[in-house]
């Protein structure tokens, strides 16, 4: 596949992605993606399809009880822009989870602790009395930085290592706190194939489906990331924000995140504050050492970029691919929704010399938060 075809494929996906999967079967009217209230109910169905009955019930109760928080109801009902692309429902869910974690609303605390299941009563009270706090959370973009996605990146790097036998320079945009840039500090179990630091307190072991991933050592030469609002994990509010975006009925993910945060704080990767497109242009213009494969990576971020910036970033990647040589290859690993939002695809694009030398393939279909990987190779 040549660079023009790759660009058409990636822009086609990027122009249609949103924070969603096909609507789950729920007892609700069809949702207009511009209707904030309906988006709560739609995302309730999506959460259930992704394995969180608790978050599904939280969002459904919030939909029913929303009028108890008039300012919040007005914000959601008149959301500026596309509430799906902004992950508006996930902001609300995280705000409620944060309130529960702070243990200032006894009935909400009891709901999250599993001591009762009256979602409407607890969520309605929390919306009413905690409205100011939830509004603060609604004002900030989502912060997931899901460590489980690092398994997909590791599997793609093992595939590259099998083909190139080179160390890697990793460049991640939308890096948040850089937790996925530290993937070689985690233990990975990829369907019985082990990788990374095997004695790490962070173990990423997704349910593995399909073929076996190529077994090859992954050597990281250097890493660097960028985010419009990088997370500084030495700040307690930042750690609270990350943990609140973990779904409340997924305690293993929360425990894994806590270990990853500790590893990050001991030796954080360099994360720049900038927009993706200009940062990529500067990084890709830097000299690349012979015998090192430069890798651009990102996960679940294209939907948040303005269209002009998204196109500029992808065009910059294509131009860098055209400059690649066998001694200085370029690879691109993306973990994003496909164009019709039916699946999350792990895609590997690789250039080794000449504009027509780029190859692009879908390596796997993945769970949005890394719970399983269906490997296609």
**Domain check: are 260 and 228 in the same one?**
yes
User: What pLDDT does residue 73 have?
Assistant: 97
Q: What is the pTM of this model?
A: 0.83
**Domain check: are 124 and 253 in the same one?**
no
Domain boundary among 89, 114, 138: 138
User: What pLDDT does residue 13 have?
Assistant: 41
Residue 29: inside a domain, yes or no? no
**Domain check: are 242 and 358 in the same one?**
yes
**Domain check: are 270 and 162 in the same one?**
yes
Residue 316 structural domain: 3-15+145-375
**Domain check: are 128 and 170 in the same one?**
no
Domain boundary among 93, 118, 138: 138
Which long-range contacts does 131-134 make (Cβ < 8 Å, 24+ apart)? 131/69, 131/71, 131/72, 133/95, 133/98, 133/99, 134/69, 134/72, 134/92, 134/95, 134/96, 134/99
Residue 118: inside a domain, yes or no? yes
User: What pLDDT does residue 82 have?
Assistant: 87
Q: State the Cα angle at 60 between 57 and 64, rounded to 5°.
A: 135
**Domain check: are 233 and 270 in the same one?**
yes
Residue 25: inside a domain, yes or no? no
User: What pLDDT does residue 211 have?
Assistant: 94
**Domain check: are 105 and 58 in the same one?**
yes
**Domain check: are 183 and 58 in the same one?**
no
Q: Is 180 helix (H, G, I), strand (E, B) or coil?
A: helix
**Domain check: are 251 and 115 in the same one?**
no
User: What pLDDT does residue 142 have?
Assistant: 78
**Domain check: are 248 and 194 in the same one?**
yes
Distance, CA of 125 to CA of 110 (rounded, Å) = 13
Domain boundary among 118, 138, 158: 138
Are the C-beta atoms of 51 and 29 separated by less than 8 Å?
A: no
User: What pLDDT does residue 52 have?
Assistant: 93
Q: How many separate domains does the chain show?
A: 2
**Domain check: are 320 and 222 in the same one?**
yes
Kindly write down the DSSP assignment for every residue of 102-148, as one continuous string. Answer: HT--HHHHHHHTTS---HHHHHHHHHHHSHHHHHHHHTS------GG
Residue 23: inside a domain, yes or no? no
Specify burial of residue 360 (Cβ count, 10 A radius: 0-12, 13-18, 19+): buried
Residue 323: inside a domain, yes or no? yes
Specify burial of residue 106 (Cβ count, 10 A radius: 0-12, 13-18, 19+): exposed
**pLDDT values of the chain reduced to their tens digit, one per residue, 377 residues:** 544 554 455 444 433 322 333 333 223 333 444 578 999 999 999 999 888 999 999 999 999 999 999 999 999 999 988 898 888 999 999 999 999 999 999 999 999 999 999 999 999 999 999 999 999 999 987 766 789 999 999 999 999 999 999 999 999 999 999 999 999 999 999 999 999 999 999 999 999 999 999 999 999 999 999 998 888 899 998 899 899 999 999 999 999 999 999 999 999 999 999 999 999 999 999 999 999 999 999 999 888 888 999 999 999 999 999 999 999 999 999 999 888 778 999 999 999 986 556 889 999 999 988 999 999 98
User: What pLDDT does residue 22 have?
Assistant: 31
Residue 159: inside a domain, yes or no? yes
Residue 48: inside a domain, yes or no? yes
- Cα distance from N-terminal residue to C-terminal residue, the chain: 17
**Domain check: are 208 and 346 in the same one?**
yes
Residue 154: inside a domain, yes or no? yes
């Amino acid at each position: 596949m040549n660079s023009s075809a790759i660009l058409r494929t990636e822009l086609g996906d990027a122009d249609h992605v949103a924070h969603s999967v096909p609507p789950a079967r729920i007892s609700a009217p069809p949702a207009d993606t511009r209707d904030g209230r309906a988006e709560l109910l739609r995302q309730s169905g999506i959460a259930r399809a992704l394995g969180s009955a608790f978050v599904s019930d939280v969002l459904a109760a919030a939909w029913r009880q929303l009028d108890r928080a008039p300012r919040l109801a007005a914000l959601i009902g008149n959301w500026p822009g596309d509430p799906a692309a902004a992950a508006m429902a996930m902001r609300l869910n995280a705000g409620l989870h944060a309130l529960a974690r702070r243990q200032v609303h006894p009935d909400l605390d009891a709901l999250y602790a599993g001591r009762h299941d009256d979602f409407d009563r607890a969520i309605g009270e929390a919306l009413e009395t905690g409205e100011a706090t939830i509004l603060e959370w609604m004002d900030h973009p989502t912060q997931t930085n899901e460590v489980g996605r690092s398994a997909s990146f590791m599997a793609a790097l093992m595939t590259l290592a099998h083909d190139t036998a080179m160390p890697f320079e990793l460049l991640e945009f939308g890096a948040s706190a850089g937790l996925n840039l530290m993937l070689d500090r985690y233990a990975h179990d990829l369907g019985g194939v082990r990788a990374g630091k095997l004695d790490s307190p962070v173990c990423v072991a997704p349910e593995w489906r399909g073929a076996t991933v190529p077994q090859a050592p992954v050597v990281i030469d250097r890493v660097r990331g960028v985010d419009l609002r990088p997370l500084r994990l030495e700040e307690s509010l930042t750690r609270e924000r990350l943990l609140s975006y973990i779904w409340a009925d997924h305690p293993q993910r929360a425990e894994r995140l806590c270990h990853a945060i500790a590893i990050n704080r001991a030796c954080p990767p360099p994360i720049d504050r900038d927009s993706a497109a200009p940062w990529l242009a500067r990084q890709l213009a830097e000299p690349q050492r012979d015998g090192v494969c430069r890798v651009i990576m990102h996960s679940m971020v294209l939907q948040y970029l303005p269209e002009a910036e998204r196109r500029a970033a992808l065009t910059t990647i294509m131009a860098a691919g055209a400059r690649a040589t066998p001694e200085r290859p370029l690879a691109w690993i993306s973990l994003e929704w496909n164009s019709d939002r039916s699946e999350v695809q792990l895609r590997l694009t690789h250039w080794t010399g000449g504009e027509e030398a780029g190859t692009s393939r879908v390596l796997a279909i993945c769970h949005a938060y890394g719970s399983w990987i269906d490997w296609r190779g």
